[in-house]
Amino acid sequence: MWYAPSPLSIADLQRAAQRRLPPSIYGYVHGGSEDQTAMQANRDAFSRWRFLPRPLVNVSQRRFGVTLFGQRYNAPLGISPMGVAGLCAFEGDVALARASYEAGVPFVLSAASTTPLEKVAQANPDMWYQGYLPADQHVIEPLLSRVRDAGVKVLVVTVDVPIASARENELRNGFSIPLKLSPRLICGGMIRPRWLMSTFAQTLLKRGMPHFENFTAQRGGPIIAAAKGDHRAGRAAMTWNDIAWIRDHWPGTLLVKGILRAQDAQHAHSLGLDGIFVSNHGGRQLDGAVAPLDALPEIVAAAPGLTVLLDSGVRRGTDVLKAMALGAQAVFIGRAAMYGLAAGGQRGVAQALALLTREIDVDLALLGCPDIADLSPAYLCRADLPVSTELNQLNALMSAVPAAVF
């Protein structure tokens, strides 16, 4: 479905997605909030780290599978929750779910999805569910029952979206949620006839107008109208007390997503949570927020024994290795998967995962680390500090973290 030659990197998939999507929808997928400085900071954070490779190590056999919450996965990758994926490809939620299941990596279904979670769970029986939850137990409890009945074992509660952020680029492009059929949006669709027929028209003909299916236990409103009872209502009142209540009522694995402070990681651990996502929502919420990679070492040191996952800004296999060397147990992608989805549907998502997995394999060999479980800060140095100074700081960091973390 994409343009020749075949994509060699996530950047190639991004360019293919930009050519295929209407400008307003591409702006939604690609952009961040306000001045988009947090989004850029996420990429800059990876650039500040350099590798210290070890030569003359036997790397003829590489191992890069990981175990998360008792489940073995083929690669240290996962797909983060992303809303209204159906705007990028027909039944986009199902395409993401199937591609991740076939690749043997975790997938998190967004609450802002347009396919019933039960159907997505059939495509990927190992899927995780991400909730945007209000501080209302009468709403949360039936939703937990629905998610549990669908066979979902991992619940992810996003905590960095108490209210909607100011995404000026989306407004300038005529994009909003719920969708408004503005002249800019309509014209953008007309100039992308392949998207218009394969995604928009096919969805209307086969599925009707998409609805928000998974915010609560009941079906939500259509994406071109306000949701039944604003789906953002009540989130601003959520506190750690609500997370503690969910922990008491959710029998499976529980994570919170959107942690950037070591103290919050410690609090999550003290409440009996199983893990956290170190994330700034890909730079789509608070502009100017710290990059997750910069926050990661302190968080890992502060909460030993807690499973720490990272997303935001990941575009290369080297990004994955840097995050894992600093203590993340796995790394999740958002935009990278959506670029693949827009470029080629399920096949495009599979291509994105395959590209990153191949890079991880090659980069491990070049780094002189045949087993990803052996990654540690000793393989890194800061680009802006002398190596000797950085090694002293990394040794101090390593001594503060139990060896089992690495």
Q: Which structure tokens are listed for 230? A: 């604003």
Q: Which domains does the chain have, with CATH numbers?
A: 10-367 (3.20.20.70)
82 is in an annotated binding site: yes
92 is in an annotated binding site: no
Q: Which structure tokens are listed for 268? A: 């999550």
Q: Which structure tokens are listed for 38? A: 């947090």
Q: Which H or E run includes 226?
A: none
Mean pLDDT per block of 10 residues along the chain (406 residues) reads: 73 97 94 95 97 98 98 98 96 98 98 97 98 96 98 98 87 81 82 93 94 95 70 85 98 98 98 98 96 98 96 98 98 98 98 98 98 98 75 58 53
249 is in an annotated binding site: no
* Cα distances (Å, whole numbers) of residue 269 to 153, 294, 332: 19, 20, 21
Q: Which H or E run includes 281?
A: none
73 is in an annotated binding site: no
334 is in an annotated binding site: yes
Backbone angles phi, psi at 13, to 5 degrees: -65, -35
Q: Which H or E run includes 172?
A: helix 168-172
Task: Specify whether the CB–CB gap between 267 and 260 falls below 8 A.
Answer: no
Task: Specify whether the CB–CB gap between 331 and 324 falls below 8 A.
Answer: yes
CA–CA separation, 183 and 181 (whole Å): 7
pLDDT at 2: 46
Pairing of strands 307-310, 128-131: unpaired
pLDDT at 58: 98
Task: Specify whether the CB–CB gap between 383 and 47 falls below 8 A.
Answer: yes
132 is in an annotated binding site: yes
- In 3-state terms, what secondary structure has residue 371? strand
pTM summary value: 0.92
270 is in an annotated binding site: no
Hey, which residues are catalytic here?
Answer: 281
- In 3-state terms, what secondary structure has residue 249? helix
pLDDT at 182: 75
DSSP 98-167: HHHHHHT--BEE-TT-SS-HHHHHHH-TT-EEEE---S-HHHHHHHHHHHHHTT--EEEEE-S-SS----
CA–CA separation, 93 and 115 (whole Å): 6
399 is in an annotated binding site: no
pLDDT at 402: 56
CA–CA separation, 216 and 133 (whole Å): 8
Pairing of strands 380-382, 49-51: antiparallel
